[in-house]
Structure 1
Amino acid sequence: MVEIKPLHYFVSAYEEGSITAAASRCFISQPSITHAIKSLEDRLGVILFERSKQGIKPTKEGQTLYKLATDLLLQNQQLEAAFTPDKKVELHLYIQPDINIERYCNIIDTIQNTSPFIDLSIVETVDQAQLAIIDEERLSSQFQFKVLNQERYQLVVRKDHPLATENVVTLESFKDLSFIERPYCTNRKAFERLMNEKKISITYKGKSIHDLQIQGLVKLGLGVAVIPESYIQKDDDLKYMAIALDAPITRTIVLAYRKLPSVLMTAMEETKWAYCRKK
């Protein structure tokens, strides 16, 4: 008889295309995933994955097992739910660190209120998640998603900065400015490419670890910064300016999901999700 747990690990490896990602998703060590797959291969007398430096690729037998295993795991979940209707369903949520989660508070509330048996917990990586609020650029193909918001970037300076009299700036305005670096920015390379095309060099005076800190550093007079619009706040000491570009650089924030309980999957498909616009 094939046990349920190895099938769960096999399905995770199949969907992630990586032993490492599957281990992260299942909160176990890589050798445990490898051992589970090997035990299935020995039990069934087949090879389930072709292994290479690029990861793992399912064989024909692996594809067949995946279809059967997902059906079996779903039936097992339904069986448990039928006899333990009050059992909590734990959902793992990933929130990208540089996203202003306060803008999406109503979404979190809606998810939690969909069912009293949903227990939402935060995970460290998107590989571990069933739900994610994330930049679309960082999302893997295993997820479906709903677009929440598209935002541009603005330059933030102190109110006494020479540029503070402007409402709109160009990249040429960046010359000779000292910046606080935002190393986690998904569009950093796009900005750097434009700067290189215009032969504008950037001087960095330090790095931030999140966008609230970066504004504090600007307020202290340690430099200027480029931040997403969602982090703009009412502050008498700071000035925010739009950046004039021929093709605006934006990021798209999405609500991503996979492998959800039926009640929440229905909500995902039917609800028009919106973000909080209050500043």
Structure 2
Amino acid sequence: MRIEQLQHIIEINNKKSISEAAKTFFMGQPQLSHSVKNLEDELGYKIFRRNRIGMIPTCQGKEVISMAREIINSIEVLKSLSSGEANLTGNFSLILAPGVFNSFGGLLIARFHEKYPNVNLALTEDIGISIVDKVAAGACLMGVTVWNSNYDETMRKLLDQLDIAYEEIIQDDLCLIIGTHHPLAAKETISLTDIEGMTIVDYRGRYRNLLRNCGIDIAKNEFLIVSNREVMKIIIAKNQAIAVFPRFFFYNDLFFEKGLLNYRTIEKVTDENKMKMHLIYSKTEPLSYSAKQLKKILIDTIVDNCN
């Protein structure tokens, strides 16, 4: 029995798929299958069985995986005490909302790799409820998602039902995003009536209801639906449309740094509607020592760059 085999079965349990778990370890599916079979042969019983949703642990497999997590976590702590945190190893998957990914993904990877060069960190991007679903299914270790303060109670109830822990990282304003030469750029504060009749970029068709809830009469606006944030920013920078977006989605953004885009507060909306960024992870499995370090670096990276 090798430490790598314990890491293998933990990741297969997380991903519910040998092929997906193999990607984490940069190895082929046959090689990973062979590793698991050798461990099963050594133990004398099956660790996994296959059903319609993927690889599911047997009753004995659940016990093995639980013990494997404890062993790996203990080894991580011992390594941090004996030879320094830089020698910690592991494989983590983190899924971020699009704006979070663009604003903080690069900073997070750089900061985490500097401190833990031997830990593999895989970052992916997704939206809304899909992030929640993947964390609930064990497809990723943690996720960072964003919701409006009006949906606080609904989201918290949903996460509680799914046994998902949630920690608020930061909250920020909903602002008007405009090009430098847009007619509204001359105003410091925007009213709801200023926005009426304007062409609005709606990212993936997800912001129309949000605008309606903010008191904007969307019947008077034309909408451009885009599925790419870079395209959205180009349209706005060319003064062809505006957008209402959380301000923290544009931190560390070249369009803003070069003065091609600006944001303005919106009367009532800025004060009464906040966008909240949350870190989510499963309650059913305790976070390992390395995972706790990832969590701390993630939160510190976002908070430090938003202040």
Task: Give the TM-score normalised by structure 1.
Answer: 0.62
1:7 corresponds to which residue? 6
CA positional deviation for 1:153: 2.5
Contact 2:79 2:85 in 1 (8 A): no
String of CA shifts for 1:239-276, please: whole Å, max 9, x gaps.
524275697362314397943349948978xx9x9433
**In structure 2, distance between residues paired with 1:219 and 1:248:** 25
String of CA shifts for 1:179-217, please: whole Å, max 9, x gaps.
33433x9x548538859x977386455737446x64443
Q: Which has the higher helix share?
A: 2
Change (3 A) 1:24 1:135: farther
Change (3 A) 1:176 1:121: farther
1:276 corresponds to which residue? 305
**In structure 2, distance between residues paired with 1:71 and 1:121:** 20
1:57 corresponds to which residue? 56
For structure 2, list consecutive stretches of 5 or more residues without a partner in the other structure.
126-137, 148-158
**In structure 2, distance between residues paired with 1:8 and 1:107:** 22
Contact 1:155 1:243 in 2 (8 A): no
1:16-95 matched pairs, under 5 angstroms = 16-19=15-18, 21-74=20-73, 76-77=75-76, 88-90=87-89, 94=94
1:1-279 matched pairs, under 5 angstroms = 2-19=1-18, 21-74=20-73, 76-77=75-76, 88-90=87-89, 94=94, 96=96, 97-99=98-100, 101=103, 123-125=122-124, 134-135=144-145, 146-158=167-179, 161=182, 163-164=184-185, 165=187, 167-170=189-192, 176-183=197-204, 188=207, 191=210, 200=219, 203-205=222-224, 207=226, 209-210=228-229, 214-230=232-248, 231=250, 233=256, 235=259, 238-242=262-266, 244=268, 248=273, 250-254=275-279, 258-261=287-290, 264=293, 274-278=303-307
CA positional deviation for 1:218: 1.2
**In structure 2, distance between residues paired with 1:87 and 1:158:** 44
Contact 1:147 1:254 in 2 (8 A): yes
Change (3 A) 1:40 1:119: closer
Contact 2:175 2:246 in 1 (8 A): yes
**In structure 1, distance between residues paired with 2:239 and 2:199:** 10
CA positional deviation for 1:225: 1.9
CA positional deviation for 1:221: 2.0
Q: What code does the residue aligned with 1:191 have?
A: L
String of CA shifts for 1:118-172, please: whole Å, max 9, x gaps.
667653338898777x3267xx9898665321234322234554555483444x8
Contact 1:144 1:258 in 2 (8 A): no
Contact 1:154 1:226 in 2 (8 A): yes
Equivalenced residue count is 264
Computed over aligned residues only, the root mean square deviation of the Cα atoms, in angstroms, reads 5.1
The secondary structure found in structure 2 opposite 1:223 is coil
**In structure 1, distance between residues paired with 2:24 and 2:212:** 34
Change (3 A) 1:251 1:267: closer
**In structure 2, distance between residues paired with 1:28 and 1:193:** 49
Q: What code does the residue aligned with 2:178 have?
A: V
For structure 1, list consecutive stretches of 5 or more residues without a partner in the other structure.
none
Q: What code does the residue aligned with 1:7 have?
A: L
**In structure 1, distance between residues paired with 2:83 and 2:262:** 55
Contact 2:86 2:118 in 1 (8 A): no
